[in-house]
Amino acid sequence: MITCKSTVEMTSNTSSSSSLVRIAAAQMTSINDLTTNFNTCSRLVKEAVEAGAKLICFPENFSFVGAKDGESLSIAEPLNGPIMQKYCSLARESNIWLSLGGFQEKGPDDAHLCNTHVLVDDTGNIRSTYRKIHMFDVDVPGGMVYKESSFTIEGKDIVAVDSPVGRLGVTVCYDLRFPELYQQLRFQHQAQVLLVPAAFTKITGEAHWEILLRARAIETQCYVVASAQAGKHNDKRESYGDTLIIDPWGKVISRLPGAY
C-alpha cells in the first residue's frame, strides 16, 4: 500500500497581516477495509502534526474503496455515524484540521449515496460538507466504463469555508474538469486555497491531471492542494497518484509521484 504525505508552507491572509502556515497533503492506496484505511490515516495525521501542519488533506475515497459493485453502498453511513465520528475524534485528539474528500455518505435510499467532502476542525467539529456536483460518467479509452451517477446523488451547493490556512474552496475529483466551479469559488466566494481530493484513473491522470490543476491555479490565482489515490486498490481498479500542491503562479511546489 502506498502511503505518504507532503508538507509545504503557504502564505495565509486570514488576518490583517500575512503569515506562513504549513499544510500537508496525503497520498494513499485505500482498500475495502475501513479499519486498515483509518489506521493509515491516523499514522499520516501523526506525521503531519509532527511536521507542524495545521491541515492535512486526504484523497477521495480515503476511508473505503470497494472491490466489487455495491460495496460502497453497503458501508455508506450518515455523517453522525461511527465512521466519520472516528475521524472527528482523530482531528480533536491530534489538534489538526482534516480535509476528508470523497466520503461515502448515506443517501436518501439504499440505492444511492453522496460523494461528500467533509472538513473537520481541530476541535473535532464538522465545519462544512460539500457534495460532489459533477458525476464521473465516462467510458475511459482502453479502460473501464464508469457511471457514478447510477449510485450517487449529485450535489447542488458551492462551498467555501474559513480555516487556519486561508479560505478553502471545496471540490472533489471530476469537478476539476469544470472551470466555472473554481471561478465561482474564487470570485464569488473568495476562496484562497482550492482543495481537489481525487482518485483519477491511470489513463486520465497521465493525460490531464497536472495540466488541469495548474490551469485552475493560474486562472483563479489560488493555491491548489490535490491529494490523490495511487496504485492498485484491487484487481479492477488502479489510481494515478501524483499528489500536488501548486502555487497561484501555476508552479508545482510539492509533489508525491504516482509510483515508487
Q: Tell me how far apart the alpha carbons of residues 225 and 170 are, in angstroms, rounded to a whole number.
A: 10
- Per the structure block, which three cell numbers stand in for 8? 509545504
Positions annotated as catalytic residues are 60, 132, 173
Q: Cell numbers 499514522 label which residue? A: 43
- Per the structure block, which three cell numbers stand in for 95? 489538534
| CA 221-222-223 angle, 5° bins | 135
What residues have CB less than 8 Å from 196, skipping those under 6 apart?
Answer: 101, 171, 172, 173, 175, 176, 213, 216, 224, 225, 226, 227
Q: Tell me how far apart the alpha carbons of residues 93 and 12 are, in angstroms, rounded to a whole number.
A: 24
**What are the CB-based long-range contacts (under 8 Å, 24+) for 156-159?**
156/131, 157/130, 157/131, 158/130, 158/133, 158/184, 158/185, 158/188, 158/189, 159/117, 159/128, 159/129, 159/130
